[in-house]
Amino acid sequence: MIPRIWFIRHGESVANASGFLAGHHDSPLTARGEAQARALAPALRRLAPERIVASDLRRAWRTAGLAWPAPEPPLERTEALRERDLGAWERRDHASLRTTGDNARLLSWSDPPPQGESHAMLARRALTWLAEHDDGRRTLLFVHGGLIRAVVGLLDGIPHDRIGLWKVKNVEIVARATPPGRWSELLTTFG
């Protein structure tokens, strides 16, 4: 089966460069992140997408705009494809999570950060959008590492306790071929 959906993580953000968790915090791209996004353009043109959608967080839609500067197809934005809501942990540095032992909770499938979302909650939100937009069009999704880990992890059958361990690099492209109805099926079965 030929890939028809490409998940693309945003370019390097200020949060990435500074070592803190962004979540829903609207961290902009760094100059390096903007250059990474521009460098994607030739490879993306070869994919001939029919739809381009980005998270409504600036680091994702800015990456999309730089990587796909053409007016067609038009860029759509949605909050349904935002990064995981990290609640009270947003803007917290990674080192402090390791020091306090909260890193295991961050990587957990079902245990959310205080006032935030678990990977399972994020997957349910993203899968709902994917199921509603499962129309066979070749689609570029400019999103976030947590979303890619959760959704593609489920799609690939990765055990829930291992999904949080996958590190998705900035501007990494993750291609998948999915038969019609697969997102709806995942949504009803992942638990």
Residue 115 has pLDDT above 60, yes or no: yes
At 191, the pLDDT band (50, 70, 90 cuts) reads: low
Percent of residues, the chain, with pLDDT higher than 90: 85
Write down the pTM of the prediction. 0.96
Report residue 15: phi and psi, to 5°. -60, -45
State the total domains in the chain: 1
Report residue 54: phi and psi, to 5°. -130, 155
Which of these is catalytic: 12, 24, 83, 90?
A: 83
Lowest-confidence segment of 24-33, 74-83, 91-100, 163-172 by average pLDDT: 91-100
Task: Share the mean pLDDT of the chain.
Answer: 94
Q: How high is the pLDDT of residue 2?
A: 80
Which is more confidently placed, 95 or 9?
9
- Give the pLDDT confidence of 72-109 residue by residue, as tens digits: 999 999 999 999 999 999 999 988 888 888 888 888 99
- Give the pLDDT confidence of 119-148 residue by residue, as tens digits: 999 999 999 999 999 999 999 999 999 999
Q: Catalytic annotation on 90? A: no
The average pLDDT across 172-180 equals: 94
Contact (Cβ atoms closer than 8 angstroms) between residue 101 and residue 112: no
Positive/negative CA dihedral, 131, 132, 135, 137: negative
Residue 46 has pLDDT above 60, yes or no: yes
Q: Residue 144 is part of a domain; what is its CATH number?
A: 3.40.50.1240
Contact (Cβ atoms closer than 8 angstroms) between residue 22 and residue 90: yes
CA dist., res. 132 & res. 127, Å (int): 8
Q: How high is the pLDDT of residue 101?
A: 80
Q: How high is the pLDDT of residue 99?
A: 85
CA dist., res. 70 & res. 67, Å (int): 9
Where in the sequence is the domain holding 184, given as residue range(s)?
5-189
Which of these is catalytic: 10, 24, 119, 144?
A: 10
Q: Catalytic annotation on 133? A: no
Percent of residues, the chain, with pLDDT higher than 70: 98
Q: How high is the pLDDT of residue 3?
A: 81
The average pLDDT across 143-156 equals: 97
CA dist., res. 169 & res. 180, Å (int): 28
Q: How high is the pLDDT of residue 95?
A: 84
